Amino acid sequence: MNELASVNFLKAHNARHVWHPMGDPKVSEADPPLIVSRGEGVYVHDVDGKRYLDCVAGLWNVNVGHGRPEIKQAIVEQLDRIAYYSTFQGTSNPPSIALSHLLTEMLQPEDMTKVFFSSGGSDANETAFKIARQYWKLEGKADRFKIISLKYGYHGVHFGGMSATGTPPHRRAYEPLVPGFLHIDAPYLYRNPWTNEPLELGRICAAELERTIQFQGPDTVAAFIAEPVQGAGGVIVPPDNFWPLVRDVCDRYGVLLIADEVVTGFGRTGNLFGSRGWGVKPDIMCLAKGINSGYIPLGATVVNARVESAWKRDHALAAIMHGYTYSGHPLACAAALAAQKIVVEEDLPGNAARVGAYFRQCLDELARRHELIGDVRGKGLMLGLEIVKERASKEPFAPNDPIGKTIMQAAFEKGAIIRWAAGKIILSPPLIFTRAHVDEAVAVLDHALARAKESWT
Ligand SMILES: Cc1ncc(COP(=O)(O)O)c(C=O)c1O
């Protein structure tokens, strides 16, 4: 093994030179990360050769699993032709055209007609905000620039997405943020001041959206954005009536509805798209992650015929003055075409629904044995456990409480990667997970929660 790849070199230089996303550098210097170097299917290996069950699919994205030969072949075949060519006006490349065709076909029920490519979820959302604001300028209503979103929502790290994000820790260090972004309460059944009744909560939160639009003035509101199931905020599944009511409110006031499907797109919730699971057709959808299972960075923003129509007329501001060098990257798009073939051929949305229901059942059973679990929730293979000090009072642990680290470390020791985020254990495995993998994950969680209980009491 050459020095650059030696385990000691990697560990020493990670601590010395790498700043990790979403963490205090001092913490990763003192407490080195798992350095993952290999993966196949639902398992990955670290540089010390230890194998882990990947219960988070990388970062909710490796939906088809690691090391799929079909995707490698698609990338290599494209590399043999050309690695990169731009899609800025005047040039294009075949994989980006083929993928935009495929996406609009997949999204025919939503009447999606145009695709704008980027390099990830933050880009996809930023693109959506710019399209929404430009749409209203082209419609002759330049005052409609405000964007409403949900508390606990996560929309990425660029200034627009961060401004829409509803989790203060992602925002505070970078304020002041972009003007014109507003937040309303999320339909968070486990923690809300109003009700334990899901449909009542759905009505209350949709009514808050309506009142906010009325208060701001409908002629100033461009769009409402939300995740079909809130992910990073803690896997918050809205009541059944929430999204349909939101669509009605948006329609009443002409507000564009943006679905941030970065996590929920391509099968994770048990439907091909998360919003389809609520029977709702957004005007704009933001896609990334599962689009090509993370083999090469890719994001996409798709818009429906209504949005597209604004660009049909002549207008001084009609040029889309937005785009990334890597918009429509041929390798990323070729990987996506191969990944989507797998999603369809292996019915990954169906598998997510079936295996997700079994996972949910096992987690409910686990909660009967572990008092630390305050709430079990999820949809498909997007699941969360809210960890609390006491079930009756729902008292949460402080954000910096060591219990999170104890749980993660115990899981690592037992050979599984799970995620801890602000008092919740997040589970978002590859969509090729089987019931046997669920059993393996639940055994690890059982051990980790027992360890957490010992450490805390
Ligand atoms: C719902 C949602 N939107 C946007 C993003 C940002 O995507 P990216 O990290 O690819 O920029 C994420 C990332 O986890 C996400 O969960």
Give pLDDT tens digits for 223-235: 999 999 999 999 9
Report the pLDDT value the prediction gives residue 156, as an integer from 0 to 100.
98
Atom nearest to 232 CA in ligand 1:
16
Structure tokens belonging to residue 175: 């304020």
Q: What is the pLDDT confidence band of residue 213, given thresholds at 50, 70 and 90?
A: very high
pTM given for the model: 0.98
Structural domain contains residue 7? no
Report the pLDDT value the prediction gives residue 308, as an integer from 0 to 100.
98
295 and 439 both lie in a single domain:
no
Cα–Cα dist 112/156, whole Å = 23
With a 6 A CB cut-off, is 262 part of the ligand 1 pocket? yes
Of 316, 345, 374, which closes a domain?
A: 345
351 and 302 both lie in a single domain:
no
Q: 242 lies in which domain range? A: 71-345
With a 6 A CB cut-off, is 263 part of the ligand 1 pocket? yes
Across the chain, mean pLDDT equals: 97
The four Cα atoms 167, 173, 179, 183 give a dihedral, to 10 degrees, of: 10
Of 294, 318, 345, which closes a domain?
A: 345
Q: What is the mean pLDDT of residues 197-205?
A: 98
Q: What is the number of domains present in the chain?
A: 2
Check: CB of residue 187 under 8 Å from CB of residue 226.
no
155 and 120 both lie in a single domain:
yes
Least confident piece of the model among 12-26, 134-148, 256-270, 347-361? 12-26
Report the pLDDT value the prediction gives residue 170, as an integer from 0 to 100.
97
183 and 254 both lie in a single domain:
yes
Least confident piece of the model among 20-34, 83-97, 139-153, 243-257? 20-34
156 and 259 both lie in a single domain:
yes
- Asked if pLDDT for residue 252 goes beyond 80, the answer is yes
With a 6 A CB cut-off, is 290 part of the ligand 1 pocket? no
Report the pLDDT value the prediction gives residue 2, as an integer from 0 to 100.
63
331 and 356 both lie in a single domain:
no
Query: How far away, in angstroms, is 449 Cα from ligand 1 center?
Result: 28
- Asked if pLDDT for residue 4 goes beyond 80, the answer is no
With a 6 A CB cut-off, is 386 part of the ligand 1 pocket? no
Give pLDDT tens digits for 36-88: 999 999 999 999 999 999 999 999 999 999 999 999 999 999 999 999 999 99
**Within a 13 Å sphere around the CA of 28, how many CA atoms are in the beta-carbon half?**
18
Q: Which residue has the tokens 């292996």?
A: 346
Q: Which residue has the tokens 């930023």?
A: 126
SS3 47: coil
Q: What is the mean pLDDT of residues 121-148?
A: 98
Of 345, 364, 379, which closes a domain?
A: 345
With a 6 A CB cut-off, is 260 part of the ligand 1 pocket? yes
Return the bridge partners of 304, or none.
Answer: 112
Give pLDDT tens digits for 374-405: 999 999 999 999 999 999 999 999 888 999 99
Q: What is the pLDDT confidence band of residue 372, given thresholds at 50, 70 and 90?
A: very high
Structural domain contains residue 451? yes
Percent of the chain at pLDDT > 70 equals: 99
